[in-house]
């Protein structure tokens, strides 16, 4: 049985239960019990007590419940002093202006739980409301037979992300083609925005490349992003003018991948050249607890990222400073470079870099100066 954050569960082999607060893997979750403690629990020892019912996020987080006997819904406004509570899968965005200048809008994000090894382990899938509007969303995924499966709907506060699911790598294909519908809401505004219908799609193999995971200005982890809608470009259905304009039909738009900033940019010394220092102290702030193997893998990962980035950016020369040491890093680098037919190597300038640097010269067949 698959569990998601927010699922109410009971323990099979002991009394009590709680709410799933974190998904560690397909076999292990954290359960928050009544006194607030979180208990790591095997999924085989849990059973759901009821299916989660979002009720469209309690209609922007007013208290919402249905009287099944009278067949009518009752909506109750919270008192001004009441704290508005959201379920465990919603969390506020962390704004990192220094990490980028992403446009305000709605995004979907695939975030590796293990940020050290981006290509292994679970992926958290988020819908991100990076706007000043409350939104109602509905999410559909396309099944192999062409049918559309409604998988989630809820309300999300401004500048908040909501966890849609934590998925195994073999589930990436299921999440690679879908449609998001968005309704924007504000208590007072000069215009009413049109609803959004955005199709998103990508090749599942894309998420097996490290360079698609990028820093953003609104979440702390590196993530693969799709922009569902940019708020400044969204047309209005009605405006506060005498000649109000109404859209005759709602435009169907495609979600677009957010192009990651090239990692080589910060190492460039001229328009076509760069220098990359691969000493572990230049790449990691705190590496004291890393083993030698972990440090080597980290350096090689960064080397490949910079090399691929330099090729995409049409650089012609990159100098990699690897140090002298026991020569393992340089040897592994040369093994990797042997797989590229458009590069050649030579020792870097002894005067400028000493004995511990290698120049990689890149040839671009379709490059015109």
- Tokens representing residue 161 in the block: 């992300």
pLDDT score, position 241? 55
pLDDT score, position 329? 93
Q: Is residue 20 within 8 Å of 48, Cβ to Cβ?
A: no
CA distances 138 to 132, 162, 176, Å, are 19, 12, 16
* Radius of gyration over every alpha carbon of the chain, rounded to an integer in angstroms: 25
Shared domain check, 209 and 111: yes
- Tokens representing residue 220 in the block: 């702390």
Residue 117: Cβ-neighbour burial (10 angstroms; 0-12, 13-18, 19+): middle
Q: Which of 15, 21, 52 is nearest to 37 (CA)?
A: 21
Compute the CA torsion angle 193, 153, 108, 43 (nearest 10 deg). 170
* 68 is a domain residue: no
How does pLDDT run across 31-50, given as a tens digit for each residue? 888 777 788 888 888 888 86
- Count other C-beta atoms under 10 Å from residue 187's C-beta: 6
Shared domain check, 302 and 157: no
Q: Which of 200, 233, 257 is the last residue of a domain?
A: 257
- Tokens representing residue 334 in the block: 């040369």
CA–CA distance, 120 with 208 (Å, rounded to integer): 9
* 60 is a domain residue: no
Shared domain check, 155 and 236: yes
- Count other C-beta atoms under 10 Å from residue 365's C-beta: 6
Residue 144 CB contacts under 8 Å (≥ 6 apart), including other chains: none
Q: Supply the range of the domain harboring residue 33.
A: 8-50
Shared domain check, 307 and 217: no
Q: Is residue 310 within 8 Å of 342, Cβ to Cβ?
A: no
* 80 is a domain residue: no
pLDDT score, position 99? 61
Place of tokens 């090894």: 117
CA–CA distance, 54 with 153 (Å, rounded to integer): 7
Q: Which of 223, 241, 257 is the last residue of a domain?
A: 257
pLDDT score, position 55? 45
Shared domain check, 149 and 45: no
* 130 is a domain residue: yes
* 72 is a domain residue: no
CA–CA distance, 121 with 75 (Å, rounded to integer): 41
Counted domains in the chain: 3
pLDDT score, position 269? 93
CA–CA distance, 242 with 103 (Å, rounded to integer): 30
* 24 is a domain residue: yes
Residue 103 CB contacts under 8 Å (≥ 6 apart), including other chains: 227, 230, 231, 232
Shared domain check, 273 and 247: no
CA–CA distance, 188 with 204 (Å, rounded to integer): 41
* 280 is a domain residue: yes
> Which CATH number do you get for residue 208?
2.60.40.1600
The angle formed by the CA atoms of residues 323, 117 and 164, to the nearest 5 degrees, is 150
Shared domain check, 209 and 156: yes
Q: What is the DSSP letter of 82?
A: S
> Which CATH number do you get for residue 292?
3.30.1370.110
End-to-end Cα distance, the chain: 58
CA–CA distance, 312 with 125 (Å, rounded to integer): 28
CA–CA distance, 263 with 261 (Å, rounded to integer): 6
Any alpha helices (H) in the chain, and if so which ranges? 55-61, 280-283, 292-312, 328-337, 350-353
- Stretches where the chain sits below pLDDT 70 are 1, 25-26, 50-88, 96-100, 240-260, 365-369
Shared domain check, 172 and 138: yes
Shared domain check, 320 and 242: no
CA–CA distance, 286 with 294 (Å, rounded to integer): 13
pLDDT score, position 257? 64
Q: Is residue 306 within 8 Å of 263, Cβ to Cβ?
A: yes
Q: Is residue 293 within 8 Å of 116, Cβ to Cβ?
A: no
* 77 is a domain residue: no
- The alpha carbon of 125 is separated from its chain's Cα centroid by a whole number of angstroms, namely 7
CA–CA distance, 9 with 151 (Å, rounded to integer): 20
């Amino acid at each position: 049985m698959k569990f998601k954050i927010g699922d109410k569960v009971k323990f099979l082999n002991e009394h009590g239960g709680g709410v799933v607060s974190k998904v560690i893997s397909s076999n292990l979750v954290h359960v928050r019990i009544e006194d607030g403690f979180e208990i790591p629990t095997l999924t085989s020892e849990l059973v759901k007590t009821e299916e989660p019912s979002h009720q469209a996020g309690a209609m922007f987080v007013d208290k919402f419940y249905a009287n099944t006997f009278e067949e009518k819904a009752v909506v109750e406004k919270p008192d001004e002093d009441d704290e508005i509570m959201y379920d465990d899968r919603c969390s506020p965005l962390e704004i990192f202006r220094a990490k980028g200048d992403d446009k305000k809008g709605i995004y979907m994000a695939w975030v590796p739980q293990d940020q050290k090894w981006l290509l292994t382990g679970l992926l958290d899938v988020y819908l991100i409301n990076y706007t000043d509007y409350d939104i109602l969303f509905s999410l559909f995924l396309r099944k192999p037979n062409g049918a559309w499966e409604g998988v989630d709907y809820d309300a999300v506060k401004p500048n908040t992300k909501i966890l849609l699911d934590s998925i195994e790598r073999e589930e990436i294909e299921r999440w690679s083609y879908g449609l998001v519908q968005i309704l924007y809401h504000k208590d007072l505004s000069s215009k009413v925005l049109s609803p959004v219908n955005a199709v998103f799609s990508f090749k599942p193999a894309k998420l097996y490349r490290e360079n698609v995971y990028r820093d953003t200005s609104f979440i702390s982890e590196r993530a693969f992003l799709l922009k569902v809608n940019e708020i400044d470009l969204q047309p209005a259905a009605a405006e506060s003018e005498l000649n109000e304009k109404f859209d005759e039909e709602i435009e169907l738009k495609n979600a677009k991948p957010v192009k990651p900033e090239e990692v080589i940019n910060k190492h460039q010394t001229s328009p076509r050249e760069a220098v990359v220092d691969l000493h572990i102290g230049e790449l990691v702030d705190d590496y004291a607890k890393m083993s030698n193997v972990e440090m080597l893998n980290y350096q090689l990962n960064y080397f490949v990222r910079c090399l691929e980035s330099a090729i995409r950016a049409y650089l012609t020369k990159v100098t990699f400073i690897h140090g002298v040491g026991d020569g393992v890093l340089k040897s592994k680098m040369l093994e990797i470079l042997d797989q590229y037919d458009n590069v050649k190597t030579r020792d870097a300038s002894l005067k400028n870099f000493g004995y511990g640097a290698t120049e990689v010269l890149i040839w671009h067949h379709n490059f015109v100066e």
